Amino acid sequence: MYYGIILVGVIFMNIKKIIILFIVLFIDQLTKYMICINDSYLTVIDKFFYIDYTSNQGAAFSILSGHSIILILLTVVICIFLYHIMYSYKDNRLNNLAFGLLYGGILGNFADRVFVGYVRDFLSFKFGSYYFPTFNIADSAIVIGVILLIISTIKEEGEKRGNKSRGSKRKKTR
């Protein structure tokens, strides 16, 4: 049911956002599947980067752990909110990429919650004695999408201010 509600919104997106969404969703689910069937721990770069399969019952940093229904409902609300603000942004490559990444990442973790019961994480980084919380491709897409949306917002605000200052005429003083 929840998946259907979100997919109805996807139908009304432009094709560029949909393609990006499905590429992210496919790569996310494929990598999760590949890591999950091996259930392994792999050192990629010693003392820095590891593949370490874990299950996350919550959201980022295990917030709301064990409250899957709340997280599923929250995901639906976030997707509806994003859908509404998406049309306040210009239709350009940066915004298409940002919203495609956001929706692809959100739906990747949403699919895990609905069909698996938890989110599958596997990318693990260590900085000295600090272990950064393990995450996945969907999480990365969400973060990159948010960063691109912030850049787009700043850029559009700058253009609005720039247009106002160029459009105003100064009085000549003698």
pLDDT at position 64, please? 64
In a domain, 23, yes or no: yes
In a domain, 140, yes or no: yes
Angstrom distance (rounded) from CA 132 to CA 36: 20
In a domain, 116, yes or no: yes
Alpha helices in 39-92 (DSSP H): 68-86
Provide the strand spans (E) within the chain: 41-45, 49-56, 119-127, 130-135
Q: Quick check: 4 pLDDT over 70?
A: no
Angstrom distance (rounded) from CA 121 to CA 31: 10
Q: Tell me the two tokens of residue 82.
A: 């994003």
Pick the catalytic residue from 28, 91, 112, 121: 121
Angstrom distance (rounded) from CA 166 to CA 174: 22
Please report which confidence band the pLDDT of residue 27 belongs to, taking 50, 70 and 90 as the band edges: very high
Q: Which domain holds residue 35?
A: 2-161
pLDDT single digits (tens) 48-105? 999 999 888 777 766 666 667 888 899 999 999 999 899 889 889 999 999 999 999 9
In a domain, 172, yes or no: no
Is 139 considered catalytic here? yes
Q: Quick check: 172 pLDDT over 70?
A: no
Contact 138, 26 (CB under 8 A): no
Sole residue written with tokens 């787009």: 152
Q: Sign of the CA dihedral 159, 160, 163, 165?
A: negative
pLDDT single digits (tens) 128-152? 999 888 999 999 999 999 999 999 9
Average pLDDT over residues 108-124: 93
Is 46 considered catalytic here? no
In a domain, 168, yes or no: no
Task: Select the more confidently predicted residue: 59 or 107.
Answer: 107
pLDDT at position 164, please? 59
Domain count, the chain: 1
Biggest alpha carbon–alpha carbon distance for the chain: 80
In a domain, 117, yes or no: yes
Please report which confidence band the pLDDT of residue 9 belongs to, taking 50, 70 and 90 as the band edges: low
In a domain, 70, yes or no: yes
